[in-house]
Amino acid sequence: MSTTMIERIRATPVTVPLQAPLRHSNGAHWGRFVRTLVEVETSDGYVGLGEFGGGGEAATQGTESLIEYLRGHDVFRLESLRFAICNPTASLYNNRTQVHAAIEFACLDIIGQKLGVSVSEFLGGRVRDEVEFASYLFFRYPDPVTGEGEVRTAEQLVAQARALKASHGFRTHKLKGGVFAPRYELSCYQALAAGLPQDRLRYDPNCALSLGDAIEFGRAIEPLNNDYYEDPVWGMPQLSRLRDFVRIPTATNTVVVNFEQLAANVAQRAVDVILLDTTFWGGIRPCIKAAGVCETFGLGVAVHSSGELGVQLATMLHMGAVVPNLGYAADAHYHHLTDDVIVGGKMRYVDGRIAVPDAPGLGVKLDPEKVRRYHELYRELGGYPYDRDPGRPGWYPLVPNERWADPADGARPALR
Ligand SMILES: [Mg+2]
């Protein structure tokens, strides 16, 4: 038994501004990310960091109240941590997967600090010291104050991709679609391929397309440099059917997000590439386990982004560093952020890659001044409805969608 027992859990919601609002099939990120930072303190004075998406009183309270379950828990006992708060049958009534992930991150951070090694070095050891990323292109509303940052036309999209390639070195570009009608987005995707002919591409409309539209879109892009076709339609049966018509690997972060679904996809293959999210899967270790299953059954693996600050990004980097079968550039929203809460500010991309932190544990520390500033911003602005579009009050999509945004509408919606 080690002496490194959990003694305190603290959760702090923060809001960090984005360069511009990011549009997606269900609404938008309204010009900012809201994230909850988690700090786990141990009896012998260590502090480990975690993070998950969203925030508010319920998230803070729900996280901090887990101390009643975890006071005295040895941080090295990661398997028992899973059963202590995330028992799969008890979780039918109380799903704590994301909070479990944040606490797992913090425990791994503490273990690493105590042992003096980075998380990736004790979770199997690194097979790479840096992780390559895709550009993650969004249609964006202009910033309501400056008017800058709009991406609505094919020309603006190609300009965004070229600018990101010039500044960060990306060689892979992911287009988040599902905003405009499929044929308009097809013309945008084709413009990207023409404008960046050496680079690789991927398209993700967040399941918004009908099977018919997805077949038409998929066949039209078959000759391009596609990594994969991500969640064009909703659900494994439709994804499976799509494979009869379109010769591009499919990928998902929506319908294979746990081990039961992974088993179903092995038994009857619907999707070729599993996008592993350190939060959705409940931690870095579940992602590494899932990557092992994927390796065994010949499924591809890539790193998913659900919107991250530096703590979460560190978990993605350590996971990416140890998974040998990582066949694709990772996704990150990170470059859309204007700042970060970690010491040293935003991590830097070099040649489209970010170096895996070397310091013990996750290798990142919170900058107290930044945390204070962005917690204040959270208190000032509050949350935002991720599944609403600030430019279309009262709107909501169907699945498959038919209520597309109008690409001729150059509105600059207010965001509060
Ligand atoms: Mg996706």
DSSP for 108-158? HHHHHHHHTSBHHHHTT--S-SEEEB---EE-BPPPTTT----B-SHHHHH
Distance 290 CA to ligand 1 centre (A): 17
pLDDT on residue 94: 82
Distance 216 CA to ligand 1 centre (A): 20
Nearest residue to 218 (alpha-carbon basis) of 184, 245, 179: 245
Residue 360: partners with Cβ closer than 8 Å, 6 or more residues away? 112, 113, 115, 116, 117, 118
Q: What percent of the chain has pLDDT over 90?
A: 96
Distance 230 CA to ligand 1 centre (A): 6
Q: Are 259 and 228 in contact (CB under 8 A)?
A: no
Residue for token digits 């430019």? 391
176 in active site: yes
> Which of 165, 304, 333, 336 is labelled catalytic?
304
How is residue 209 annotated by DSSP?
S
pLDDT on residue 1: 55
Please report, for residues 66, 85, 95, the alpha-carbon distance to residue 60 in angstroms, rounded to integers and kept in the order given. Answer: 10, 16, 15
Which tens digit of pLDDT belongs to each residue from 137-167? Answer: 999 999 999 999 999 999 999 999 999 999 9
pLDDT band at 320 (very low <50, low <70, confident <90, very high): very high
How does strand 130-132 pair with strand 137-138? unpaired
Q: Are 303 and 132 in contact (CB under 8 A)?
A: no
Amino acid, res. 315: T
Mean pLDDT (whole number) for 230-244: 97
Distance 372 CA to ligand 1 centre (A): 31
Greater confidence (90 vs 255) lies with 255
Nearest residue to 340 (alpha-carbon basis) of 380, 318, 313, 322: 313
Residue 416 pLDDT more than 90? no
> Which of 176, 318, 333, 370 is labelled catalytic?
176
Residue 317 pLDDT more than 70? yes
Check whether the bond before 390 is cis (ω within 30° of 0).
Answer: no
Q: Are 125 and 101 in contact (CB under 8 A)?
A: no
Q: Are 168 and 130 in contact (CB under 8 A)?
A: no
Distance 253 CA to ligand 1 centre (A): 5
Nearest residue to 135 (alpha-carbon basis) of 75, 95, 96, 176: 176
Distance 97 CA to ligand 1 centre (A): 19
Residue 316 has phi, psi (to 5 degrees) of -65, -40
Distance 273 CA to ligand 1 centre (A): 11
Span of 88-97, 204-213, 252-261 with lowest mean pLDDT: 88-97
24 in active site: no
Mean pLDDT, the chain, as a whole number? 97
